[in-house]
Amino acid sequence: MNKPTSALLLCCAIFFAPPAFATLIINEVDYDQPSTDNAEFIELFNQNTSSINLASYSIDLINGNNGGDSIYDSIVLPSISLSAGGYFVICGDSNNVINCDLEASKSSNLIQNGSPDAIALLLNGSLIDSLSYEGNTALPYTEGSGSGLIDDPAYDFMGLSLFPNGTSSNQNNLDFIFSCTTPGMQNTNQSGNCLQPVITATVPAPASIYLLVPGLLGLARYTRNKKCRTYWA
């Protein structure tokens, strides 16, 4: 291969290679609820085409008072595999947030309400995604602008959703919309009449597994309860 061709291929590889870190993104947040904030959550989304282990990822919560960028809390993610297209939900209180995968240290008032504040996602300590809301926190935690992004506590079961789901142009106030909450589920564009995502029933899954033991009269039944969710009551 001659040198010009090699140089051209190298150039193309540099410019067209997918971003090395564009795998896990901040997909949704509900940081403010009517009255006490006891149903807060952050939803992450694996936009990669293969599973990833979350052990190397962490969340920093950023206080943007006066345009600053001080870290007021950090959340280390567990060593679990998140499938391609999968969601991972960090919440304050799993009793109030369906599909919560990880309870953080505070059950209420976990995520500050601005303004402005930010959520940062890090891989091995390096920032890979951020959401600044209710204004612009100091760089590097604002992507474009966070102005106009408000999780208005007058509306229950609403928060900031990346829409279309999992699609980011690195412009916070264009990428996120104020919509009905969907923890652990695909984001929607619904700006009103939001109902509480609820756990409506507990059913056995699998229904029953019977083990037949020759010579014994009994059957051993193993039932493993699994939460069954219905999203909109």
What are the residues facing 75 on neighbouring strands?
59
Residue 28 burial by Cβ neighbours in a 10 Å radius (0-12, 13-18, 19+): buried
| Binding window for Ca ion (CB under 5 A); candidates: 17-25, 77-85, 134-142, 182-190 | 182-190
| Binding window for Ca ion (CB under 5 A); candidates: 28-36, 69-77, 119-127, 223-231 | 28-36
Q: How far apart are CA 41 and CA 31, in angstroms?
A: 7
- At 169, list the tokens: 């142009």
State which residue, 28 or 69, has the beta carbon closest to Ca ion: 28
- Residues 194-213 contacting Ca ion, CB under 5 A: none
Residue with tokens 């699998």: 206
- C-beta of residue 79 within 8 angstroms of C-beta of residue 132: no
| Binding window for Ca ion (CB under 5 A); candidates: 24-32, 69-77, 130-138, 205-213 | 24-32
Residue type, 117: D
Using CB under 5 A as the binding rule, whether residue 147 contacts Ca ion is answered as no
Quote the radius of gyration of the chain (alpha carbons, Å).
21
- Residues 49-108 contacting Ca ion, CB under 5 A: none
Minimum gap (Å) between residue 187 Cβ and Ca ion: 4
Biggest CA–CA distance in the chain, Å, is: 80
Using CB under 5 A as the binding rule, whether residue 37 contacts Ca ion is answered as yes
User: Given the rule CB under 5 A, which residues bind Ca ion?
Assistant: 28, 30-32, 37, 43, 111, 113, 151, 153, 158-159, 182, 187
